[in-house]
Structure 1
Amino acid sequence: MAPPPAVAIAPGVFRIPTVGSAATNSFALLDDDGSVTLVDTGVRSAPPKIVAGLAALGKHPSDVQRIVLTHAHPDHAGGAADMAARTGAPVAVHEGDAGFAEAGTSPPNDTSTATGRLFARLPGGGFPPVPVGERLTDGQVLDVAGGLRVVATPGHSPGHVSLLHEPSRTLITGDAIFNVLGVRYSPRMLCSDFRLCRRTAHVLGELEYERAGFTHGPEIVDGARESVRRFLAKAVTRHTPE
């Protein structure tokens, strides 16, 4: 059975699956004036699914006024150039990843382990370059659906951000934390700096929210903060080989 084109997380906040039912997700935030902000754009082939998700919400690409990228990896920024062309919307990304988005290249991988060094040598990692209209900073509150706060969580990439929609108490984690077979850190081999990613993920345990949308995995709509904090508390007690 095909996944639904859009899934409600909170009032005005929707997840749009772009790979499988929840393997990779984009998000749409709807404003009272009818405008839409997209968060992440999936892989290069994802835009038709995003357009279908918008249609399920009664929206058209022309309703999209801003595209926000959590980071410049091809499964999050791969469709950005296409969606920017379809919508005419500017693309916003943290200044730490802006150069990679504009070049269409992924940030370097963590090579502190043999697996990371092997993964870094694999081909691929590119995506269509996209102009960056806005460079985000930590703590910035975007004028999106009542307020979307930028939370810098670097490590997965140099400029990785999570996003807190304060009116609905909804966190969009980006790849700081996955919800794949349970809440977990991003795999080391996918990070630019895994140790930093692990440290900054703990910021998410200190924020106030009730729901969490994950760019990889299904949302948690009840007790999300407690679920994240339980994972983080357990994670610091386990030894992770460096």
Structure 2
Amino acid sequence: MAPPRAVALAPGVFRIPTIGSWGTNSFAFVDDDGSVTLVDTGLKSAPPRIVAGLKAIGKHPSDVQRIVLTHAHPDHAGGAADMAGKTGAPVAVHEDDAGFVETGTAPPTDTSSLAGKFFARLPSGGFPAVAVAERLTDGQMLDVAGGLRVVATPGHSPGHISLLHERTATLITGDAIFNVLGVRYSPRPLCTDFRLTRRTAHVLGDLEYEGVGFTHGPEILDGGRTAVRRFLAKAVDRKTPE
């Protein structure tokens, strides 16, 4: 069965799968005037799937007025240059990841484990560089569909962010937390600082929301906050070695 082109999470909030049904996800926020803010752009090969997802919700690339990146990894920023060209939309990313986006280079990875040391030796490949028009900061409220709050959750990358859409009580985790074979942290070798990832993810348990969209994995629309808080509590109880 072909993956869905777009999945509604809340009024005006959509998940657009770019790998499989939910392997890697972008998101679209539709404003009252019909304009679209696109969150993440997948791999370099993802733009055709994003355009198809926009079409499925009755939108065209010309409707995209802003592109927000949760972080500067190739599976999230790889399609940014192409989508910026297709849409003419400015790109926004946290100030601590902006330099990586503008040079098309991924941030360094955590080398505190053997797997991390191995991954660090592999060619990163990078992604097409794109100009950053807006450098985001923690707590900033973006004028997107009634307000989209920037929540700094560094660790997966130096400037990683999550996003809270307060009007629909929807959280976009970015890669702070995955929902792959259950809710979990991003694997250590994929992070810049895994211990920091674990610490800052707990911010997400203190926010108010109901539905959760994950950039890796399917959404949890009913009881999403409960699921996230339950995972974070168990993670503390397990005292995973750092």
Normalised-by-shorter TM-score class: over 0.9
- TM-superposed deviation, 1:113: 1.1
Q: Show the counterpart of 2:63.
A: 63
Which deviations, in whole Å up to 9, do the C-alpha atoms of 1:36-75 show, x marking residues without a partner? 0000000000000000000001100000000000000000
Q: Distance in 2 between matches of 1:34 and 1:233?
A: 39
Q: Is the 8 A contact 2:153 2:161 kept in 1?
A: yes
Which deviations, in whole Å up to 9, do the C-alpha atoms of 1:194-230 show, x marking residues without a partner? 0000000000000000000000000000000000000
Q: Distance in 1 between matches of 2:154 and 2:31?
A: 28
Q: Show the counterpart of 2:215.
A: 215
Q: Show the counterpart of 2:13.
A: 13
With normalisation by structure 1, the TM-score equals 0.99
Q: Is the 8 A contact 2:93 2:134 kept in 1?
A: yes
- 2:42 partner amino acid: G
- 2:44 partner amino acid: R
- 1:120 partner amino acid: A
Q: Is the 8 A contact 1:44 1:74 kept in 2?
A: yes
**Partner of 1:41: helix, strand, or coil?**
coil
Q: Distance in 1 between matches of 2:142 and 2:69?
A: 13
- 1:144 partner amino acid: V
- TM-superposed deviation, 1:125: 3.8
Q: Distance in 2 between matches of 1:118 and 1:24?
A: 23
**Residue pairs, 1:202-241, within 5 angstroms:** 202-241=202-241
Q: Distance in 2 between matches of 1:114 and 1:241?
A: 14
Q: Is the 8 A contact 2:97 2:159 kept in 1?
A: yes
Q: Is the 8 A contact 1:69 1:92 kept in 2?
A: yes
The root-mean-square deviation of aligned C-alpha atoms, in Å, is 0.6
**Partner of 1:150: helix, strand, or coil?**
strand
Q: Distance in 1 between matches of 2:93 and 2:241?
A: 32
- 2:56 partner amino acid: A
Q: Does 1:149 align with 2:168?
A: no
Q: Is the 8 A contact 2:106 2:124 kept in 1?
A: no
- TM-superposed deviation, 1:239: 2.9
**Partner of 1:49: helix, strand, or coil?**
helix
Q: Is the 8 A contact 1:73 1:125 kept in 2?
A: no
Which deviations, in whole Å up to 9, do the C-alpha atoms of 1:149-182 show, x marking residues without a partner? 0000000000000000010000000000000000
Q: Does 1:51 align with 2:87?
A: no
Q: Show the counterpart of 1:163.
A: 163
The percent identity for this pair of structures is: 81
- TM-superposed deviation, 1:241: 2.5
Q: Distance in 2 between matches of 1:125 and 1:161?
A: 23
**Residue pairs, 1:1-242, within 5 angstroms:** 1-242=1-242
With normalisation by structure 2, the TM-score equals 0.99
**Partner of 1:156: helix, strand, or coil?**
coil
Which deviations, in whole Å up to 9, do the C-alpha atoms of 1:62-100 show, x marking residues without a partner? 000000000000000000000000000000000000000
- TM-superposed deviation, 1:237: 0.9
**Partner of 1:38: helix, strand, or coil?**
strand
Q: Distance in 2 between matches of 1:181 and 1:111?
A: 25
